[in-house]
Structure 1
Amino acid sequence: MDIGGDDGRGGGVARDDGGLTTGEVARRLGVAPTTVRTWDRRYGLGPDAHTGGRHRRWTPADVARLERMCALTATGLPPAEAARVARGDAPPDAAPVRRAAPSPRPPARERSRAGSGLRLGDVRQECRGIARAALRLDAAALEELLLAAVAEHGPVTAWTEVIMPTLQAVGRKWESSGERYVEVEHFLSWHVSGALRRGAPPAAAGRPDSVTVLACVPGENHTLPLEALAAALAEHGLPVRMFGGALPVESLVAAVRRTGPAVVGLWAQSRTTASRPLAQHVAAMEWGVRGARRRPVVLTLGPGWAGQGVSGLPRPSGLAEAVEAVRSVAGG
């Protein structure tokens, strides 16, 4: 996927209309638009040139100056001093770095860690902004960026092309750094969960026979993929009953009996939690009057079901496929 194009999704700064808007710059940097405006007003880091109309446009040089500001403040340098360096009013060596490290000037690799320390690869530009905000533990910026991604792309594309690549990059950083960055992974996951719920339409009532039950199998607590599916189904007006992580067998059976769902989605992240007998048991459950009894369609969701396939039960390969599987059964 090309992230450097000029179609409004990528990271290319040059545009036919003369530059990036403040909102686009904020997404690129992983900060809130109000932060960009504050740096402009308080520290003189606004666009060098003025264009016609009410909206200011940011050139590559303007954006590079703000990127320098982000890198400096990420080292602990106060914003006012970082702005002086970013504007070129003071050499970098003249600005003290507020770090606990013994060296007064950390190496360049350390200074850039908060801005680009995650190996994201070829991804949408929004991923980089979200990663920067997560590494800085910037709650306001992270929430704004995630909500904007869900609103602009919809839950399916936002999850598969923006959120999931960023979560995977954070996970790789955690695994390769000896238990560091755990707080970043938890912080990002919590905000992703909130954005998926806040960005989804209100829960639909739907027909009694169109409900989808979503739950993690016992022992499984990875709920974010199910939350993305719930948001995507809500976007299509399909009613969902979400039961989250590690639902006990008895509770799952009781929920299915009480709701009489058209579809049951069972998520397993690990092969150790995927239970073929449980999936078969739920798929065999019946309800309704004699002669018109119904059974749910059980979807085995997640990588834990790889190699554990249950005969006759669909196993969608991704979020979009899971949405289509539910729509084919419950969408009428």
Structure 2
Amino acid sequence: MDLTGDLLSKAPPEGGLTTGAVARLLGVAPTTLRSWDRRYGLGPAAREDGRHRRWTAADIATLRAVCRLTSAGLPPAEAARTVLAGETPAPVAPAPGRASRAPVPLPPGRARRECRGLARAAARLDGRTMDELLTGALDRYGLPVAWDEVIMPVLHAVGRRWESAGERYVEVEHLLSWHVSGALRRVPAQPPSPSPGAGLSLLACAPGETHSLALEALAATLAHRGLPVSMFGAALPAEALVEAVRRTGPDAVVLWAQSPDTAAGGTVDRVEAVEWGVRGARRRPAVLVAGPGWAGRRPPGARHLSGLAHAVDVLATVTAR
């Protein structure tokens, strides 16, 4: 089984790393790095040709320190101020009953070993070992990194094996998907703050779409970060989706489509047209699309979420009150 995962294991080249490369190294979204640069002055020390960002080893060390503090619960603004000032922050107590699960990149070569272990357990139909490996990866690396660098590569590899081997291998894919779904549900959720903050994100697969694991990962990540979320799962009919939006009044709606056959722009239009609230102050949701099914079929004006970390970053911004 070919399970590859290219990691940035080398020191930055002389010219430095690009923003995309640094984002993959740290397990955050590129938009987060750009936002930290704009808001807190955490940008690269040098820019190639005066325009393109190039991050040096010192820049990356600064970002790592900020990531450690934000993972411990410090707000980004305070974390940036602390690191730039060279101060030592007071320890941040974790929320009761909540595991640390800090988003840290996997060490060089570790991703391939973790993928192979999970893939072999799946091939043996060894559910107990799959649970142990999935829980361990989520605890050590945090959900976004574990999803991108361990879980998704194995799911893709199993899917390719199933396509080439026919139905002789479909039981492996089904069992692996079941255990991944269970592991995601075990990620502890942080109760949303009672004070005004982020609004509700409604997540649903497009009508007829049955692949929901990526959306489950997004729901688990949002809940773990204390961001309100309602997850409606697979193959939600268009009428039911419209009714759910009308009744819950979300700030954002995410529609997932794995296949081009289920990526229907008409559904996006119907959801975007839903209104609620008192007369004179009616509101509509921001509708975002996610998944490979939307490639080349994205409705005009619809924003596309390119990955788990990017989706969380965008939704945190879109739903902020």
TM-score (norm 2): 0.63
Give RMSD over aligned pairs. Answer: 2.4
Does residue 236 of structure 2 align to residue 261 of structure 1? no
Q: How does 1:299-318 map to 2 (within 5 A)?
A: 299-318=288-307
Q: Which residue of 1 aligns with 2:313?
A: 324
Gaps of 5+ in 2: 10-108
Deviations 1:271-326 (A, max 9, x none): 11111011011112111112222111111111111111112221011111111110
Closer/same/farther in 2, CA of residues 191 and 203 from structure 1, 3 Å limit? farther
What secondary structure, in the 3-state scheme, does the structure 2 residue paired with 1:124 have? Answer: helix
CA contact (8 A) 1:143 1:191 kept: yes
Deviation at 1:139, TM superposition (A): 1.4
Counterpart in the other structure of 1:280: 269
Measured in 1, the distance between the counterparts of 2:250 and 2:197 equals 7
Cα–Cα, structure 1 residues 257 and 203, in superposed 2: closer, same or farther, change >3 Å?
Answer: farther
1:175 aligns with 2:163: yes
Distance, in Å, in 2 between the alignment partners of 1:305 and 1:200 is 31
Equivalent position SS for 1:300:
strand
Q: Distance in 2 between matches of 1:3 and 1:310?
A: 33
CA gap 1:310/1:145 in 2 versus in 1, 3 angstroms: same
Residue 151 of structure 2 aligns with which residue?
163
- Note if 1:228 corresponds to 2:217: yes
Alignment of 1:211-250 (within 5 A): 211-250=200-239
Whole-angstrom distance in 2 between the partners of 1:273 and 1:136: 33
Change (3 A) 1:203 1:265: farther
Residues in 1 aligned to 2:298 and 2:142: alpha-carbon distance in whole angstroms: 30
Q: Per the alignment, do residues 166 and 180 of structure 1 end up closer, same or farther by CA in structure 2, a change over 3 Å counting? A: same
CA distance in 1 between counterparts of 2:246 and 2:191 reads 20
For 2:173 and 2:191, the matched residues in 1 are separated by 28
Match of 1:136 in 2: 124
Which stretch of structure 1 is more off in the superposition, 289-298 or 156-165? 289-298
8 Å CA contact 1:3–1:125 kept in 2: the answer is: no
Matched, 1:270 2:254: no
User: What CA distance in whole angstroms lies between the structure 1 residues aligned with 2:8 and 2:182?
Assistant: 29
Give the counterpart letter for 1:143 in structure 2.
Answer: D
* Shift in Å, 1:123: 4.3
Structure 2 residue 185 is the aligned partner of structure 1 residue 197: yes
Q: Counterpart of 1:164 in structure 2: which amino acid?
A: M
Q: CA offset at residue 4 of structure 1? A: 12
Q: CA contact under 8 A between 2:197 and 2:320: conserved in structure 1?
A: no
Could you say which residue in structure 1 is the equivalent of 2:115? 127
CA 1:208 to 1:275, structure 2 compared with 1: closer, same or farther past 3 Å? farther
Counterpart amino acid of 2:129?
A: A
Q: TM-score, normalised by structure 1?
A: 0.61
Q: 3-state DSSP class of the match of 1:299?
A: strand
Instruction: For 1:188, give the aligned amino acid.
Output: L
Deviations 1:201-233 (A, max 9, x none): 256476697111111111100000100100111
Runs of 4+ aligned residues of structure 1 deviating over 4 Å after TM superposition are 1-5, 205-209
Secondary structure of the corresponding residue to residue 285 of structure 1: coil
Equivalent residues in 2 for 1:287-302 (5 A)? 287-302=276-291
Residue 158 of structure 2 aligns to a residue whose secondary structure is helix
Amino acid at match of 1:270: S
Q: Contact 2:189–2:225 at 8 Å: present in 1 too?
A: no
Q: Secondary structure at the residue paired with 1:213?
A: strand
CA distance in 2, matches of 1:325, 1:187: 32
Partners in 1 of 2:320 and 2:132 — Cα distance? 32
**Partners of 1:208 and 1:252 in 2: CA distance:** 25
For 1:302 and 1:272, the matched residues in 2 are separated by: 12
Paired residue for 1:148? 136
Higher relative contact order (CA 8 A, sep 6+): 2
Q: Secondary structure at the match of 2:134?
A: helix
Higher Rg of the two aligned structures: 1
